[in-house]
Structure 1
Amino acid sequence: MEAAASNKGCRHIVLVHGACLGGWSWFKVAAPLRAAGYRVDTPDLAASGVDPRPLREVPTFRDYTQPLLDLLASLPPGDRVVLVGHSLGGVNIALAAETFPDKVAAAVFLCAFMPDCEARPSHVIEKFIEGNWLDWMDTEMKAQDEEGKLPTSMMFGPRILREKFFQLCSPEDLTLATSLLRVSSMFVEDLAAQQPLSKGGYASVRKVYVVCTEDYAIVEAFQLWMVENNPVDEVREIAADHLVMLSRPSELLRCITDIADAYA
């Protein structure tokens, strides 16, 4: 038992939040993972969570992702992590895997945007927007500057949160999230200017996609299209809405521990 506990303690999981959220969104999952002996990080991306910067000081997607990249850069040689990216966080973990492929044991896409290596990183987001896969309802999108040099800002309204993101969550979870949301961006303009992710970087990392079958934000059909577009090592399912870490934390906990034990 001691050997098993020691082995589990070496396993490092990094949970990456989606747009407008922060590391706080993982609290129902991070705490029991730590209690079970895993090392867990829940970084706030730039201009998210308690990161003090406003969005206008985060002009590129790499700038937005930099806290995650800094975390991986700080790992000792030989250390490897299981990256779990939720929603837009899938593109963050894809960039991290591209930059540090040797430090990523597995990239886990949790009802997340998942780029391929054939098109620019913006491609899956553009397909999502152009295909009208989501009724954006009361989401507020604004240009940050007249010149168009900064990414379009985005803030979800109360109706879309209640009906498309949190429909299986408790009223308390929705109230908490509403109080902690911050203006963010999908960074489509910047991602469209980047080259495709590489075969030797991102493509070389093992991948798992976790489909949330009751997701009304990134719906199941679009999640499955991304898997078909960019096949992964394994596909799992959870009957959950988009905020699975709040609505179905026990199921997600089992899923993450199974993946960490298998791939780490």
Structure 2
Amino acid sequence: MESGTERRRRRHHFVLVHGTCHGAWCWYKVATLLSSAGHRVTALDMAACGASPGRAEEVPSFEEYSRPLLATVAGLAPEEKVVLVGHSFGGVSLALAMEQYPDRVAVAVFVATGMPSAGKPMAFVFEQFLQEEYPADRYMDCEFETSGDPQRPVETFRFGPQYLKQRLYQLSPPEDLTLAMAMVRPSQRFRDDATMKGGILTAERYGGVRRVCVVAEDDASVPAGFQRRMASWNPGTEVTGLQGADHMSMLSKPGELSELLMEVANKYS
């Protein structure tokens, strides 16, 4: 087993992608730990998220929502490969980047998410998620709004305070919950997006990238069993569990997640 010193000598470039309604800010603990260990870290805001300008309803497509990630991977130096890390909805953006730029990705890490499946549209993972058994108050105090053309309305979604507290941050420090309540923004879910519904992930490109599924064992939003089931439909996926992690693994278990990311990077880079 490598010592901490040996692990830190092997430097990697981690690209961190947040989930719905969040932004690069939610990675502040993990980004600090990885940077302190000598690694390069790029934490991104997807379009109209975090500190990114614009409004969620103005983002025309899922591909444009994911443009910050796609542009980052496309702009890498020749021969450079990155470790992509996607949390929750960010895993779908990872899948798009893997399909478009498979040779630029050393390994993709899916954290607390349902992993899209090769040979199926990206929307398939959401269709499966909606079949999960949930209480009647599935969305609790989350806010939904529609705007734009009544014939083709745009729906945005924002986590409510109680949903954040009970379903996403129930094991995270209270100050991180306070931060989230101040920082979350509305997002689109892109359920009817052409890329989501018609863009098939191929076994040759998306399926050819090495990937790891990190299961948040105490996730009250995306059940651990669902996380494992989606990973099982992607042959060759390594699955590992993170005990005591709520949905926001990067905040409830930042040290453990950071160590795991470095181990994965060393193994597959």
SS at match of 1:93: helix
Matched with 2:175 is 172
AA partner of residue 182 (structure 2): S
User: Structure 1 CA distance, aligned partners of 2:250 and 2:7?
Assistant: 25
Matched with 2:80 is 79
- Percent of aligned pairs sharing the same letter: 40
- Conserved 8 A contact 1:106-1:208: yes
| Cα distance, 1:188 vs structure 2 | 1.3
Matched with 1:153 is 156
Question: Do structure 1's residue 258 and structure 2's residue 263 form an aligned pair?
Answer: yes
Note the 1:136-147 alignment, pairs <5 A. 136-147=139-150
User: Structure 2 CA distance, aligned partners of 1:235 and 1:66?
Assistant: 28
User: Structure 2 CA distance, aligned partners of 1:157 and 1:166?
Assistant: 12
Shift of the 101–154 alpha-carbon distance from structure 1 to 2, 3 Å rule, reads same
Alignment TM-score, normalising by the size of structure 2: 0.92
Judge which range, 110-119 or 26-35, deviates more: 110-119
Judge which range, 62-71 or 108-117, deviates more: 108-117
Matched with 2:212 is 208
SS at match of 2:219: coil
Deviations 1:51-90 (A, max 9, x none): 0011122121100000001111110110000101000000
Judge which range, 112-121 or 72-81, deviates more: 112-121
SS at match of 2:66: helix
Shift of the 47–150 alpha-carbon distance from structure 1 to 2, 3 Å rule, reads farther
- Paired residues, what number? 262
| Cα distance, 1:222 vs structure 2 | 0.9
Matched with 2:18 is 17
User: Structure 1 CA distance, aligned partners of 2:126 and 2:218?
Assistant: 20
Matched with 1:58 is 59
Judge which range, 78-87 or 233-242, deviates more: 233-242
- Conserved 8 A contact 1:86-1:109: yes
| Cα distance, 1:123 vs structure 2 | 0.7
| Structure 2 residue ranges without an equivalent (≥5) | none
| Cα distance, 1:200 vs structure 2 | 2.1
SS at match of 1:189: coil
Shift of the 75–25 alpha-carbon distance from structure 1 to 2, 3 Å rule, reads same
Alignment TM-score, normalising by the size of structure 1: 0.94
User: Structure 2 CA distance, aligned partners of 1:251 and 1:5?
Assistant: 15
Question: Do structure 1's residue 181 and structure 2's residue 187 form an aligned pair?
Answer: no
Matched with 2:121 is 120
